[in-house]
Amino acid sequence: MKYIILLISMLCSLAHARGQYIPTDLNPKYNTKINPKYNAKLNPDYTSSINPKYNTRINPTYTSTLNPKFNAAINPTYTSAINPKYNSDINPKYNADLNPKYNWRINPNYGGAANTGKDAWAGKYVFDKNEDAIGFLISANDMVYLYFSMKREWIGYFVKANDNFNFFSIDGNWSGEYLCSDSEQGFNWFDANADWKKIYVK
């Protein structure tokens, strides 16, 4: 009986490790093309066109169309279509298709995309300034990315607003933080003051 329990524990550990495997072409530690430290085109500190501080066209502070304070169309407070509190279609709490507790396909703990390897991957990894993976995004639909830690804990979600994605807590509270395109199929994470958090998504 002890051996059976030991075997089951080992299999669970292997499954968990497999779920955290990042293919080298998606890992900035091994692929400098996607690493902002080595590819200046992806680094907001060196490429002004992708830095909201220097490119006013992508800065919500200076471009009213991107600023939820001045553009009601992308302000979750005034536009129910992008507010998870009023639009159940984009709220994982009320839409079972978007909720990893009820939809195993988007739950990394139950054989979802993050557990099945690169071929079934339907999201992106989140990296800190040291190229360490701190989480991953799973695409729930065209409007919503679910955000998980690398320990597979559901942290919150991003809702599309024009070209950016606004970050919400699981309870649907808008943080003011957002993802802005790096111009090459990835995102940089900015805080409410348009400061790059040195976090990026690939």
Distance, in Å, from the CA atom of 87 to the CA atom of 95, rounded to the nearest integer, reads: 10
In this predicted structure, what is the pLDDT of residue 68? 65
In this predicted structure, what is the pLDDT of residue 69? 65
| Contact residues for 162 (Cβ-Cβ < 8 A; gap 6+) | 65, 66, 74
Distance, in Å, from the CA atom of 145 to the CA atom of 127, rounded to the nearest integer, reads: 16
In this predicted structure, what is the pLDDT of residue 12? 44
Ramachandran class of 152: left when φ > 0, alpha when ψ lies in -120 to 50, beta otherwise: left
**pLDDT tens-digit profile of 6-36?**
334 444 443 444 445 667 777 778 888 878 8
Mean pLDDT, the chain, as a whole number?
A: 74
Contact between residue 190 and residue 197 where contact means Cβ atoms under 8 Å apart: yes
The residue with greater pLDDT, 77 or 37, is 37
The residue with greater pLDDT, 2 or 151, is 151
pLDDT at residue 149 greater than cutoff 50: yes
Contact between residue 118 and residue 124 where contact means Cβ atoms under 8 Å apart: no
In this predicted structure, what is the pLDDT of residue 19? 47
In this predicted structure, what is the pLDDT of residue 8? 41
In this predicted structure, what is the pLDDT of residue 103? 78
In this predicted structure, what is the pLDDT of residue 46? 82
Question: How many C-alpha atoms does 54 have within 13 Å on its Cβ side?
Answer: 10
In this predicted structure, what is the pLDDT of residue 200? 86
pLDDT at residue 3 greater than cutoff 70: no
In this predicted structure, what is the pLDDT of residue 171? 81
**pLDDT tens-digit profile of 81-128?**
877 778 888 787 788 887 777 877 777 666 554 444 443 445 788 988
Domain boundaries, the chain: 2-201
The residue with greater pLDDT, 174 or 60, is 174
* DSSP H helices in 59-119: none
| Burial annotation 53-79 (CB, 10 A radius, 16+ → b, else e) | bebeebbbeeeeebebeebeebbbeeb
In this predicted structure, what is the pLDDT of residue 18? 42
Give the DSSP H or E segment for 8.
helix 2-19
**pLDDT tens-digit profile of 129-146?**
888 889 888 887 788 888
Number of C-beta neighbours around residue 172 at 10 A? 20
